[in-house]
Structure 1
Amino acid sequence: MVQRTSHTTRSIAIVGAGQAGVQLALGLRQNGYDVTLVSNRTPQQVLDGRVMSTQIMFGDSMEIERGLGLDYWQDSAPVIEGLSLTVAIDAEKAIGFEARLAAPAQSVDQRVKIETWLREFEGDGGTLRIAEAGIEELESLAATHDLVLVAAGKGEISRIFERDAGRSAFDSPQRAAAVSYVHGLRPRNSFVACGANLMPGLGEYFIVPALTKSGPCDCIFINAIPGGPLDAFGDVTSPAEHLARTKELLGRYLPWEGERAVDARLSDPNGVLTGRIPPTVRKPVALLPSGRSVLGLADVLVLNDPLTGQGSNNAAKSADVYLREIVNRGAEPFDTDWMTATFERFWEYAQHVVRWTNGLLPPAPDHVVTLLDAAQRLPSLASGIVEAFNRPPSLDPWWYDADAARREIAAHESGDRSATAERGEARV
């Protein structure tokens, strides 16, 4: 819990107005900090622009937002009760199970969320600066603020942070994502769930019930292995063609999902997105030409492929750690040792997300396939796998080690889970 203060003379600048940047800016304002937030778009431009992600927030991340009073969509966003997982081979279901989450999840179009939060930030006395920030802007901010944080994870400015080769397993994108926000997707026959369809050798397909500008919708996206048959959007020239290509691929490789999508239509003309993300971990501190230092935040430093749905969750948890560390710092200087230690505090959690996500990008090892297969007949194991989306550290060690996997399955078979009783307790 952040210790609340009424006022501080300390000033902080944040470059980047996504989940992490705006959440942290609002939290700092609540604690009395003078905050400058730099965004390359106005709130209205954010709302009117293209969709930015396929965000899903799990229980622990939603609790962070509730703690800051930022959970404005509890009564309007679909309640995601659980997850379903299918392994598909040759257009047929090979493995399939579903389980409810201990606490529901939620997905709110970031255009809606960020526009609302930016307006609250300005209304709370924060300074919103609209600019394309570069080195010159960072130098100006560093000269006039006690701390500068960079939360723009996918732009040119993030490249000032050195890639951490020891923590980065890949140097190129491992998937090509093609996202559509749609109305009219046929509902599941069971509870409301996020759907994950794994296609070995091809990629993945995900469905996330969400709230967008025009009401409840579904975010559907294909996550294709580059160069494979699902990587088929390079010649698409319009949003309508993008959705048509998605339906065509679903009909061919996941026919049961293709049937659900027959009547799907785009939520709005800006409801499509394509992209390729190289999973990367960067070093937390960047040195400016003047000698001043700036600190990276969230996916500036830890950028994962979206296949485990951890992007917004990582952002929320990173911002939460940084807020607590900033407040606890009091009047002490935000020097480079403190910057590095603050990131390492977040890395204690984030390393589990990186290990899990990176491990799913190559072909799954045999013991993981065995775990998924066993989850079909063991509801408690299925629940443990599903709950890991909320708390990835709970997967250690049984997801990564064949012997531990066998013990985990045996514990669920016998009904004795004492050996894994602490699973799911790890938090940031």
Structure 2
Amino acid sequence: MRKILVVGAGQSGLQLALGLLSHGYEVTLMTNRTADEVRDGKVMSTQCMFASALQTERDLGLNFWEPQAPRIEGLGVSVAAPDGTRPIDWVGRLDGYAQSVDQRVKMAGWLKAFTERGGQLVIHGAAVSDLDYFAGRYDLVLVAAGKGELVGMFGRDAARSPYTSPQRALAVSYVHGLGPRPEHPDFHAVRCNLVPTVGELFVMPTLTTSGPADILFWEGVPGGPLDVFDGVNDPAEHLRTTLELMKQFVPWEYDRARGVELTDANATLAGRYTPVVRDAVGELPSGGLVLGVADVVVANDPITGQGSNNAAKCAASYLDSILARGDKPFDGEWMRATFERYWDYAGHVTKWTNAMLSPPPEHVLGLIGAGGQLQPVADRFANGFDDPSDFEEWFFEPERAQNYLASLSA
């Protein structure tokens, strides 16, 4: 029986560890928090997982919360004007529903499932020296902890990383009491509110520790009017600031958020990070090699909501590559090939996400505007969140965009 060590217990690390267990591998999972500490801690992210990413969980029998989580059936876009109106406002329907489950709920549940299914759980904050000690005792070491000392083993891939600083300041609030969106009161949708030159507000239904809720998520251009959450440590002040900015920039969202309350004392999060792609293989002081997983090696800005989707699809791709390897050694050549197989998907996500961080070119503005006039454009844009590779066919190049719109008009 091959022995594998997974370091990090987020979406990718836990999903991959549980997948390996289901195929008979001896799996050790190392993380710095217990299930109870995760569930009782601060929110860790926003997340909206689309149909194909959700399917990777179903394939492993890990969709524990699917009956309880709100079904997200659409994705809407609004563009704010300086006078507080919405010259553009539409919603596209998803072919398959999406869902969001608070990672405190999911990771705590999956940690318990891991031990119940026979995995060995080690509660320890791993350092490079720990991995150096353990590497010789396992056939493969996978690093899925996207923060801290371990990330330093994976060098920045300059050719795939156009940014050297954070592109957005991030601020998250989980709330109860958000009113329905009057344009579609009969179904749930993620709403993307674009405020040109200022940033974006995302609103999405979720399932949290206290039941169904909503996430209010500001992404602010650094140095701009939304970049005001650094040093705001009081959750109540964080929410007040969130609502004041909504009132100023997206009053239609503020109107349904007047009475919201935080879901719990740990329901806010703020920060920023630099989007980056890293080398997939890290070398230990002893010369041993480890393979980076998900956002350890591909960390995109959350503006396109792909973090958990990438993590799930990376876990599924790596699992397939490990199973196909059989009894052969997990050497550096195999590690790099395994990452490149995943990059065939993640590269599309990275290209699209980086494009959305920049001021949109004229043809993209035309496509976003067309979503309000042509429902197929709105629907295709929405479903691109599930399959970002489709944007290659109609979104990036002006000529392709023009041909696509012309085909709809015809």
TM-score under structure 1 length normalisation: 0.94
Deviations 1:318-376 (A, max 9, x none): 00000000011000000000000000000000000000000011100110000011111
Deviations 1:1-52 (A, max 9, x none): xxxxxxxx10000111000000000000000000010111001000000000
Pick one of 99, 106, 112 that aligns with 2:92.
Answer: 99
Deviations 1:225-270 (A, max 9, x none): 0110011112423000000000000001111111111001000000
Pick one of 29, 32, 36 that aligns with 1:37.
Answer: 29
Match runs of 1:14-413 below 5 Å:
14-90=6-82, 91-189=84-182, 190=184, 191-413=187-409
Give the aligned residue type for 1:318: C
* Aligned 8 A contact 1:204 1:224 in 2: yes
In the aligned structure 1, how far is the partner of 2:234 from the partner of 2:54? 34
* Aligned 8 A contact 2:2 2:139 in 1: yes
- Measure how far apart 1:272 and its partner are: 0.3
- Measure how far apart 1:92 and its partner are: 2.0
- Measure how far apart 1:141 and its partner are: 2.0
In the aligned structure 2, how far is the partner of 1:339 from the partner of 1:26? 20
In the aligned structure 1, how far is the partner of 2:38 from the partner of 2:181? 31
Deviations 1:75-122 (A, max 9, x none): 111110111111112122121110110000000000000000000000
Give the aligned residue type for 2:29: L
- Corresponding residue of 1:421: none
* Aligned 8 A contact 2:230 2:270 in 1: no
How many pairs does the alignment contain?
A: 406
Matched-pair identity in %: 51
User: Which structure 2 segments of 5+ residues have no match?
Assistant: none
Report the secondary structure of 2:219's partner residue.
Answer: strand
Give the aligned residue type for 1:178: A
Report the secondary structure of 1:93's partner residue.
Answer: coil
In the aligned structure 1, how far is the partner of 2:175 from the partner of 2:287? 48
Report the secondary structure of 2:355's partner residue.
Answer: helix
User: Which structure 1 segments of 5+ residues have no match?
Assistant: 1-8, 415-428
* Aligned 8 A contact 2:38 2:107 in 1: yes
* Aligned 8 A contact 1:277 1:304 in 2: no
RMSD between aligned residues: 0.8
